[in-house]
Structure 1
Amino acid sequence: MSNRPLNSLRPTETLELESGLSLVPRVKLLLTVYRADKSVNPFDEWKFKRSLIDYIKSSFFITVPEEDLQIRKFKDLNKRKREEPVARGRLFVHDLGFLSKVIGETEDDVERADKKFLEWRRGFVEKLDGIELNLEGTKFKLNVAVPVSDDFEGMKKEWEEIIAFGARGYQRSAKMQPDTIVLKGMPSRWFAEIRVSSKPSMLVTHTIVSALGKIRNLHVAEDNSIGDDADEEDIVSGLHCKIVVRFEKHKDFYDALKILCGRSLQKQGSRLRADYDVTWDKDGFFLDARHQIEERKRMPARGMEERDGGHRQHSRVSQFSSEEGRKRFKE
């Protein structure tokens, strides 16, 4: 596991975690396909993929493997109006080695590297958005967008505006900063105790997530909800989990969220990647009395502590002890 400070990582660098996991950088884009002419010819997913892959290679000199471009047409095409989309998908660019020339190779200038990376991604999206592809005489238009969970600057602007205007229970004070991250779409088995259960473990999760900062509260449970850019057939009961982590300091929260945006979780020795959704907690998950009760029941007895956390008007939230958790996990 890497001991480097999170704020020293460049946008194209990998962060090593415990349990053979790592956060690998990538570019993820959401695609929406529309008809660009009056043709009623059927939409061919494979032909569209090949056409888009060829376009990206010839225009940007980027090679995208077929498995990194997912296109699915809507099932109710015969009921859709002409102006409605015919398909949607996701595009991943995992090999970012070519960006070393774009963002520079000076390791100590992280801020400049971040800026250059965002400029390149913005330009890449702008050039792809709105292109028309001709599939044997039938034209289709492509709309491209960066997922909300990859837009760190957008999330930062959102919480700054909420704090400034005192919305969602936040007081108008610079001291009231968000400290909780919500992760969805994580593989349950990667956070489970080997040979014990396939369900996510609080102990294992704490060991892995603690690499991102000092944890105040932690919640992990199976999650079968569907993300904004996921399809129902992608969701299988029990395979994914939801992780909610509250950090001791806003700085740890800030650095962790920035690292989690624009990366996928990968298991050592496997080509499988988890393209999770990440956001910040706007609703006070750990301040909700119902969740506090659930957390008390869920926390292992040896890993429990009680904490006021500066919110005496609420019931105390069960806290997982970092030191106790690590001892038990190593036994």
Structure 2
Amino acid sequence: MSTKSLDSLRPTETLDIENGLTLVPRVMLNLTIFPSETASVTKPIDEWQLKRALIDFLKTSFHVPITVPEEDLHIKRFKDLKKRKRVDPVAGGTIFIRDLGFLNNKNEDDLEVLDKKFLDWKSSLVEKMDGIELNLEGVRFRLGVAIPATDDFQGMKKDWEDFYAFGNRGYSRGESGRQQPDTIVLRGAPSRWLAEPRVSSKPSMLVTHTIFSTFGKIRNLNVAEDNDLGDKADEDDGDIVSGLHCKVVVQFERYRDFYNALKVLCGRSLQKVDH
């Protein structure tokens, strides 16, 4: 995949990369569930009812229905409800919206226009969902919705531009001495996806280099098992197991390659196609 093709990648377009891996577009939103101001919650929230209420809301509240299968909606109840303050949330979660075909516009080729329309739609989605009330068996809850910082490319771009605008920080490039970021840290990828097939289940430097060279020329690369990710996970969270995931730190030679790679990674899920 060339840099030129990365430049022209539509926001709803899938990117095939090396080793049977693909980057599939999706919208990820963080959810926080609070009791409404008038509610007194003494028993755990019913996760199934909450999921059904959210799925129904997405299907019926937009001009084009948004379809989310139950497995793409993750809700986790918080413990010790009796000890919580009245303003504290009772549950949190994540929702993935993967069916984005209705946003495709084959008649529009201007990538800036497509990016803006996609961002506007995502902002309107958050605005419409944030603060809604859900009635679960007579108990009302309020929903808080936010885009994760790691999925907010424009927000990260503003942060690094503000950061490098003050003082001598970062890595200087070129005769102009302009300072720009060049390094991406990726966590949570299954180690076996970056391993040499039939050789080891541990991440391989060679395989990882081949995969990330998709985005541009690499200056430095490090990949290792990410044991901290499993250690920091809650004891009842079965999604992360220590030793099965890895951490990749990749430094690109050119800012443009870093920029394109981060933009493509934001808003997409890394998936493995097994043959």
Provide the TM-score with structure 2 as the length reference: 0.90
Task: Give secondary structure in 2 for the equivalent of 1:176.
Answer: strand
Q: 1:215 to 1:225 in 2, by over 3 A?
A: same
Matched, 1:86 2:87: no
Is the 1:163–1:170 Cα contact (8 Å) retained in structure 2?
no
Matched, 1:204 2:207: yes
RMSD of the alignment, in Å? 2.1
Is the 2:169–2:179 Cα contact (8 Å) retained in structure 1?
no
Instruction: Spell out, residue by residue over 1:217-259, the C-alpha distance to the aligned partner (whole angstroms, 9 max, x if none).
Output: 10001113349x9755232111111101011100000011000
Q: Paired residue for 2:263?
A: 258
- CA distance in 1 between counterparts of 2:198 and 2:121 reads 44
Task: Give secondary structure in 2 for the equivalent of 1:266.
Answer: strand
Q: Paired residue for 1:241?
A: 246
Identity rate of aligned residues, in percent?
66
Task: Give secondary structure in 2 for the equivalent of 1:225.
Answer: helix
CA-CA distance at 1:2 after TM superposition: 7.5
- CA distance in 2 between counterparts of 1:78 and 1:241 reads 38
Task: Give secondary structure in 2 for the equivalent of 1:112.
Answer: helix
Q: 1:151 to 1:231 in 2, by over 3 A?
A: farther
Is the 1:199–1:238 Cα contact (8 Å) retained in structure 2?
no
CA-CA distance at 1:169 after TM superposition: 5.5
Is the 1:41–1:138 Cα contact (8 Å) retained in structure 2?
no
- CA distance in 2 between counterparts of 1:190 and 1:221 reads 13
Provide the TM-score with structure 1 as the length reference: 0.76
Is the 1:224–1:235 Cα contact (8 Å) retained in structure 2?
no
Aligned AA (1:67): E
CA-CA distance at 1:160 after TM superposition: 0.7
Larger relative contact order (C-alpha < 8 A, sep ≥ 6)?
A: 2
Show structure 1 runs of 5+ residues with no match: 271-331
Show structure 2 runs of 5+ residues with no match: none
Q: Paired residue for 2:219?
A: 216
2:73 aligned to which of 69, 79, 82: 69
Q: 1:199 to 1:31 in 2, by over 3 A?
A: same
More displaced 10-residue stretch of structure 1: 261-270 or 79-88: 261-270
Task: Give runs of aligned pairs for residues 165-314 of structure 1, distance below 5 A.
Answer: 165-166=166-167, 175-226=178-229, 231=234, 233=237, 234-269=239-274
CA-CA distance at 1:106 after TM superposition: 3.7
- CA distance in 1 between counterparts of 2:227 and 2:148 reads 20
CA-CA distance at 1:166 after TM superposition: 1.8
Instruction: Spell out, residue by residue over 1:6-46, the C-alpha distance to the aligned partner (whole angstroms, 9 max, x if none).
Output: 11000000110111100000000000000013333521111
